[in-house]
Amino acid sequence: MADTFLAKGKRKKLVDELRTKGITDEEVLRAINAVPRHEFMDPAFLHHAYTDKAFPISSGQTISQPYTVAVQTSLLNVKKRDKILEIGTGSGYQCAILAEMGAKVYTIERHRELYMIAQRTLSALGYPADFFYGDGYEGKAQYGPFDGIVITAATPEIPEKLKYQLKTGGRMVVPVGNSSSQVMTLVVRTGDIEFDYSTHGTFVFVPMLKGTVNKQM
Ligand code: SAH
């Protein structure tokens, strides 16, 4: 679908809405204004592309709510050329926001179908990223250490292995909790085995599950 004046106008309104909800990081707001979220949506929900809500995508998953993407991306404190690992590619929208901000993105998805679709979407839009089909609990140590790790699925505990794939000073943003609600947690690696933790509000994500799913398309 073309990026029409209508879509651009709706995006600008969405950015204004995110400001009123407390998002202040201008680079994050600029990226949300730039990335055509409608390209990441299931056709059934196209008209809601700029509504501040999560929507269903393939494989029973969801595209995150723009506010949630804005909070997670703000907490990551992304700078140009930062190496960022994303767990849970899903639609690829969060990945595109990070690429728009100039990050070098590595993204892992456990559903083969989503892994395939997201690559097509990002390459059609001209956003570079490295895609992996696999279990995000393992991370990608061979490409690390990372300036940032963003987990876009709910986990009952902070994944230990991933903490050690951060650089010293690196930041991991992870929703921690049960299936009905999670606390957005920022983990900052302050030393070899030292980490700082802070919490940033309550959210609801689809669960982070072990293993992979190779469903026929
Ligand atoms: N960042 C996505 C949000 C997708 S929802 C977006 O912007 O659209 C979360 C995604 O995490 C789902 O696609 C789900 O399949 C994936 N996921 C869950 N557990 C995972 C794991 N262990 N490894 C990789 N991906 C996982």
Average pLDDT, the chain: 97
Atom index in ligand 1 nearest the CA of residue 111 equals: 15
Residue 69: alpha-carbon gap to chain centroid: 6
- Which residue out of 53, 65, 86, 89 has the highest number of ligand 1 atoms within 8 Å of its CB and is therefore the one to mutate? 89
* Cα 195-198-201 angle, rounded to 5 deg: 150
- The finding on whether 140 has its CB within 6 A of some atom of ligand 1 is no
Confidence at residue 217, expressed as pLDDT on a 0 to 100 scale: 57
- Tell me the per-residue pLDDT of 123-180, one tens digit each, with 9 for 90 and over: 999 999 999 999 999 999 999 999 999 999 999 999 999 999 999 999 999 999 999 9
Strand partners, 174: 185
- The finding on whether 93 has its CB within 6 A of some atom of ligand 1 is yes
CA-closest candidate to residue 106, choices 133, 85, 92: 85
pTM over 0.75: yes
The answer on pLDDT for 51 being more than 80 is yes
- The finding on whether 188 has its CB within 6 A of some atom of ligand 1 is no
Closest C-alpha residue for ligand 1 atom 18: 208
- The finding on whether 208 has its CB within 6 A of some atom of ligand 1 is yes
Go through the domains of the chain in sequence order and give each one's CATH number: 5-203 (3.40.50.150)
Catalytic residue list? 64
> Token pair for residue 121?
């979407």
